[in-house]
Structure 1
Amino acid sequence: MTVRLRGDGLTVRVSEGRAILEDASIEIHDGEIHALVGPNGAGKTTLFGVLAGDVAAQEGTVEIDGRRIGGVRARALAQQRAVLLQENTVTFPFSAEQVVRMGRAPWARTPAADDDDVVVASAMEQTEVTALSARAVTSLSGGERARVALARVIAQSTGILLLDEPTAALDLKHHEDVMRLIRARADAGVAVAIVLHDLNAALAHADRVTLLSDGCVVASGPPAEVLTAPRIEEVYGQAVDVFPHPVTGVPLVVARR
């Protein structure tokens, strides 16, 4: 597996000098889903922002395809990685199709722009939002907006996807549909980093998991090795049972009540 995105010794401090991310290192490989998990305030979104090149670390380095991310021009960076944030608020009444088409902006005035219509239509079909094409995004439900936002980053056609809680607003069916779609992107060779709160989704879909707590990396590796019952209890402060699914054998996390 090729390392597409690497963070090494990353530390981010807030104004009073407190570290919200401390000496964190991570590698995102092509063809894999790498899940960032941890309790609220663990540093997941901060690490995500540093990897995306949107948050500056006071210490450490980030490399994208072997180059320091700070030295990559914005347009070139947008052609290499697509970013889906937690908040995707659109206040203007753009249609769903217009929002998805925004993902093609990095390819304007390049030969790839010839494929805009086909790529946009495919992204909307994959996320099941084609029927919403003419609808103003301001009229859509939270789940519909989330799928339109995902279609936009898919339409961006990059080799790296950074997704911050893409399933948070989705119902059960669309949650699973989106995770299957993300799995398909990884299987096609895309490097995926995804912030998740759902530990069972991480166990079921991720190839690697990085567990954070209080701004530090607690463990990183295969999901079943990282997300053990003792470690989850230590990090989350909640006793759990972890046992294999009776049909698939995939580990399940259940809070002990």
Structure 2
Amino acid sequence: MTTTAEIPVGTAPRLATEALDLGYGGEPVVRALDVRLPPGAVTAIVGPNGCGKSTLLGALARVHAPQGGAVLLDGRDLAGMRPRDAARRVGLLPQHTEAPDGLTVRDLVRYGRHPHQGLLRQWSPDDAREVDRALAAADLADLADRPLDTLSGGQRQRAWIAMVVAQQTGVVLLDEPTSALDLGHQLEVLELVRDLAAAGRTVVAVLHDLSTACRHADRLVAMRDGRIVAEGAPADVVTPELVRDLYEVEAAVLTDPVAGTPVICPVRRLTP
């Protein structure tokens, strides 16, 4: 798969939170959370349903306003940035996406250039080149003029990620990008995610399957009840005890014979 345009070493954005509180209608979901998300790497946020994974991702994307604390991008408070400036630096692919009927792959990817448009800057050859580059990165150049609804699930998801790539942000946030995809299409999408990090982007993804996260992420952030319970390289933090604490499941943790990463083999659900 073709890689995206590379970001020079040392210039990838640094994303962090400080004492971050998030909630809905006064109900706390994430509490006093401090996390550092390394540049040029894939960080997977994992944990049980309702633990605050997607809420945290939304705050990193400036979708959820903090109730306390801050999200920092290269040391600047993200909430204090102008929306257009933030959109040029942070791209988000939400879990649920919709597109108008008949929209082609190229049309979708063009939407990624909107943060770079304005009254004094209309569509340009540079925009067209970034769209072509994003299509190539997602291995979709040959399908650029196909309607989205004629593509396979994996191809559609790569098209949505290509839209974020065309946004040309240093930070890429993905909420369960492999949800509802079969094994082959999951691999298609995760290879593209790895390519983004290899090109120097800071990639943060909420992933549902822990074994998949271990194999494709450089770093894990494990959450439960709105707090981080473990973080680090998968081989360093994934243990039977962590699986029990996160999911209330007894499991064996084996080693992937190909990648050398942890593989979780559930044994039984623990009764509270």
Over the matched positions of the two proteins, sequence identity in percent amounts to: 38
The residue that corresponds to 1:101 in the other structure is 110
1:27 and 2:39 equivalent? no
More helix by share: 1
The within-5 A match list for 1:178-217 is 178-217=189-228
Is this contact kept in 1: 2:108–2:160, CA < 8 A? yes
Any conservation in 2 of the 1:211–1:226 contact (CA below 8 Å)? no
TM-score under structure 2 length normalisation: 0.86
1:77 equivalent in structure 2: 86
Give CA-to-partner distance per residue, 1:109-166, whole Å, 9 cap, x none.
6599432223222322332333432333345454433221111011111111111111
* Alignment check: 8 A CA contact 1:63 1:69 kept: yes
Q: 1:110 to 1:66 in 2, by over 3 A?
A: farther
Match of 2:235 in 1: 224
Aligned length: 256
Match of 2:244 among 224, 233, 243: 233
Please, which of 160, 168, 181 is the counterpart of residue 157 of structure 1? 168
What SS does structure 2 have at the residue aligned with 1:256? Answer: strand
Aligned residue type for 1:121: D
Q: State which of 3, 23, 32 in structure 2 corresponds to 1:13.
A: 23
- Report the counterpart of residue 125 of structure 1 in structure 2: 136
Distance of 2:171 and 2:88 partners within structure 1: 9
- Contact 1:5 / 1:63 at 8 angstroms: preserved in 2? yes
**Which 5+ residue runs of structure 2 have no aligned equivalent?**
1-9
1:52 and 2:52 matched: no
State the 1:200 CA deviation: 1.3
Q: CA deviation at 1:223?
A: 1.4
CA contact under 8 A between 2:157 and 2:189: conserved in structure 1?
no
User: Residue 158 of structure 2 is aligned with which of 144, 147, 151?
Assistant: 147
The answer to whether 1:38 aligns with 2:47 is yes
Letter in 1 for 2:48: P
8 Å Cα contact 2:20-2:69 kept in structure 1:
yes
Whether 1:115 and 2:114 are equivalent positions in the alignment is no
Amino acid across the alignment from 2:213: A
- Alpha-carbon displacement from aligned partner over 1:176-210 (angstroms, at most 9, x marks no partner): 22222221221221111111011112111212111
Gaps of 5+ in 1: none
Residue equivalent to 2:5? none
Give the secondary structure class of the aligned counterpart of 2:263: strand
User: TM-score of the superposition, structure 1-length normalised?
Assistant: 0.91
SS of residue paired to 1:212 = strand
In structure 2, C-alpha distance between the alignment counterparts of 1:80 and 1:14, rounded to whole Å: 26
SS of alignment partner, residue 223 of structure 2: strand
